[in-house]
Structure 1
Amino acid sequence: MNKKDMLLEYLKKQDGKHFISAKILGDSLGVTDRTIRNYVKLLNDEQPALIESSREGYRLSGTPPKVIKESGSGSHIDTRRFYILRRLIKSSDRGLDLYDLADALYVSDATIRSDIANLNRLVTKHELKIIQKDTRYILKGEEKLRRKLMIELINDSKPAKGFLEEEIQIFLGDISLQDLRKLSKNNFERYSILPNSYFFKNFILHLAIAVARAVDNGQLEQSSYTINNRNSKSLNVVRGIASDLYNQHKIILSEADKDELAILFNGQLKDEKIFIDDCINTNISKALEHAIQEISDVYMIDFNNENFKTRLLVHIQNLFNRLALNKHARNLNVLNIRVNYPVIFDIAVYLASVLSNDLDIKINDDEIAFIALHIGSYLNSKTSEDNDTKTVIITPNYLSQQSDIQKFIQEEFGDDLFIVGIYEDAGDISSIPAPELIITTESMEQFTNDFVGTDIEIVSIRKFTTKHDATLIRRATEKVKHKKFLSFLQEKIPELIRNDFLVNIHDNSSKAQIMRVIADGFQQKGYVNEDYLNKLNERERVSSTAFPSGVAIPHTMKYEANKTGLMILKPEKQVIWDRNEVKLIIGIAVNKEDSHMFNLIFPRIIELVAEPYNVNYLVEADTRKEFIDRLIDLIAEGDYFPG
């Protein structure tokens, strides 16, 4: 969606009740007042009298447009359609009423019918189907396929690295996010605090909100929490940050703001345990637990992460206090978040609706956008944790030993290792999710006993690190990556090779006949369209897909299948495939949305089947299970992982 259409979408949300100044609109879209005037002119040229103008700004005319432009297609799903799909998944066999949906979404029944048609094209790719009974729509298909669809949609919508930083910078305006990060980091280091990346990102988010409040003269007047130790390390860090903010930007944080920031350190400092439950309104805590459970159930992703819940609980308590004083936090970036991250925003809306009902409060879009930032940050961090090696450092906190080792690891390994905690004793690890790698200056014997029976890799290094230590860590990291890749193969390969996708050819079929078998097999299961065979032949005309090793891998030139799969064909007699005799054929269908996943596997398969003995090893498998086991063994051989 371009910014002109974003402007129209924004004005629609205001229901035409009030004029909105060009400055506010420009700030929301990140453009100048003049650009807003140009957008208005273009929109009114496309549909006369669509937008009214006055000295106060702009609003939609009394007759809003009936046609709403949609952005993109394919894997993109906008907020309204995701809302409908989410409710279809949850409603199960009862389904949803056409006219109830139209009323709930303030659109025509024709718009809902169009949305359902688009959604049906999407769910069909996942072996699901939306059927209509009278005026009700019902999503049909297995529960595991519904769950998989929801998870894939959310995974596709997870913000990329840098998402949080970009949104916070837009939110801060002229104040540099880099300055906030730098002065925070300096104060953390001054007190020898070594935060993990998730905590630091969330601290910066809360600091940015506090700074924005201060700029608008909306500082907190009273904290929700009581920190009895007024000389605590956490408060001293925050005071240092507040002092730097004043010296550099003349921004004043209230004492209540400082307390709110200090409470975020709960669980980060071993000698400063704050019992946050004693500081939180019990009703708010219960409401958030209910809301977290709801979004976990509805969106089929585990949001029951203690760090995430604690940070969000602090924010919701602040929100509740502000609403009690009739104070609202402005978020000029709400439109950008809503449009660019519709699924994330939908999750935030759902969570806010549960909180609103349980606490009898009204949460507006600005506040929902802040909640969306928390959710986006968590999903982003969860993605990093899934991809990177979760690492714990265990070493005495003597002089600068912990910080020196952390810096060494970050300089040598960058983003490959995700440091989830730094501790003095192995007993502290029980309070966090199990790491994949432990780096310690203690003896190996102690840790081998503590973690016997686990898959955790343990590396013992010197207190004063050397290149040899880096080599040891790198080897352990490679072992972890190999284990993760092996688990990935064990999950994905059986999904790619269905029970009926291993075919034994008993007659003297020709290349053309086998190509027809592949095309028909994929088409009957909904993996490809009718033109798939033509596209296979088009690829063969460019260059044969057969190898001298005795394998052929027919595929199209583009990834454009409806679903991704591998079809294995084993002829009793070798087939003449152009200039080669082949004894194994691997037919391929790839949906472009699976391209990243497939590209982790496909190059390795090509590399392996170029060798005749590997082809013979696969051909000798008698059953689908045996073929899959042999293929996984070959791919993972030699501790292989893609990288």
Structure 2
Amino acid sequence: MTRDRQDRILAHLARASGTVTASELADTLGVTPRSVRTYLSRLRSRPGAQDLVVSGPTGYRLDEEAYARFRSLETRATIDTPRERSTRIIRELLAAPNGLDVFDLAERMHVSESTVEADLAKLRPIVAELDLRIARNGSVVTLSGSERDRRRLISRLFRDETTQGRIDLDAVERAFASESLSAFKTALLRELEARQYYVNDYGTDNVLLHIAIAVDRIAHDNRVPDDERPSRSEGFHGEEFPALLDALVTEHFGVSLGQGDAEYLGYLLSTRAVAPTTSTAAGDNDRRRYLADDDLERVRRITQRAGAEYAVDLSDEDFITRLALHVHNLLERASDRSFSRNPLTRSIKTSYPMIYELAVFIARELRDLSGVEIDDDEIAYIAMHVGAHLQQEARREDLEPVVLVCPNYYDLHSVLAARILASVGDLVRIDRVETRSDVPWSSLGVDLVLSTIEPPVPSDPVVVVGPFFGEADGERVRRAVARLRRGRRRSAIAAELLEYFSPALFVRNRYTGDEESMIRHLGELMIADGAIDEEYLDGVIERERMSSTAFTDSLAVPHAMAMSAERTAIAIAVNEHSIPWGDARVNVVALIAFSADGRARFQPVFDQIVEVFSVREDVQRIIRRSEDFPSFIEELVHTMDS
């Protein structure tokens, strides 16, 4: 348990973008901060872990270089881990139809008998979930159950005891003394891509584990019997997989699968790792090869309800088809009691909670219709389908709409449009093509026009391109899109800043003598502008007396503790020469008035302003160029946008 918690701490630190406090780690593990410090102390005693975790006043972080060395060392370590020891026990039980003597087993593994007993105790509830049974008769222990359930047991051990949630192919190769698994995977992916299948790499690694198990079992003359071969449901794809896998296994491992094993592994490959490529463009007949009309309609109804519930568009038929194929495989896995592990489940839940919630809605609808309980990992796969679709839709919305002006000459406009999309299709979409030379330039309805002819009057929105659209044309379009978006972004920033700044609250080169007199001067401007009252100003001075509000070497931000202002606003003094402020000297004083209802919206703007005034070069440029309020806003916008 201690080592497991050490690994969980490492996994959490590896995911974190900065330092992590002991309290956060304790909350993650469900222990006290004191226990976290104990685990970290024990972690440092492991080989290569002495400098792994760096501690500081703000918490803990991983040294990335030390972590890479540590992972490499752990991978090469010859000492049995609990996972490898459990796997070895199971493998020996599987290879011994008459059972194993516990004392002999402990001696061969170079561990105590109590360690073997503890491992067996941990394994019993796991094997029971798979309809297997560990029985003890004196010192002899046996494992009973079907061949397919025995193989699922090995898979379960590897799946449950990996900290990252992914199958570790290196660990599989070590456990099964195979050095051909990576080469086998390369060959398999090449064959699947040649057959135009979608490939789920996470699921592929899971199938590879089953292949390694099968090769090991067959080598010990344990094959999947005919009565355990999987049945093929309507819509089954991958009829060629058994023969393909048999040929690849024979080539890479020197073992012939036989019909039962080939069909079982082909079934796993088809339901866990691949899906056929199909689309609305290929027509209904192509989709009906793999999906029954009822299955497709069921998913369509579910996505319609989900879209209405979460106010998103899930009506795209290609998306519905891909999701229906996934659901088909999901239900197949459920019938085989073999849900797929998803290593991205945690990150999807924490980073994209609304997408995950939408997937939960879809999973609930599926459960109500099919009676199948769907676990978090499978929900995360649904979320990946939904998220990918929504991202693609969002990307289309992000594309800059353009009108293409290309006077008609055979199909030149079609060829040009295709070349434009091939070159800058990641930035623009062509909403309309004008094929006449007498173009109504002033009423085209877009902010960017690509034209093969010059407009009567030069205009920023019009980019003249060649009829065959070369590399230079593409660069001009990219620059034009960048200018357009930068202008919009700066306009948005300026509009946001003008909510809080105003000419009446701006002063330049005002030297009043000390902090309180400057605060009172700016505060009186705010009172006159209706933003605060005298009581609020007294609160600002009281707060300043408690502790200096010099946030950076150049910026002081006096403010009150209470959020009782009439509105959130900023009164600002910009001085060429610095003035004393507490123990520092500042050039800019920004008196902040907080209202209770405006604090949340203002916080991101405030963070950006503080960030700008923390860079000395930016501060000096703003001071130098801010001759009046408009130039101050212009320079602040420019700096925040750069």
Q: Same fold (TM over 0.5)?
A: no
Q: TM-score, normalization: structure 2?
A: 0.43
Q: TM-score, normalised by structure 1?
A: 0.43
Higher gyration radius (CA): 2
User: Which one has more relative contact order, counting CA pairs under 8 Å at least 6 apart?
Assistant: 1
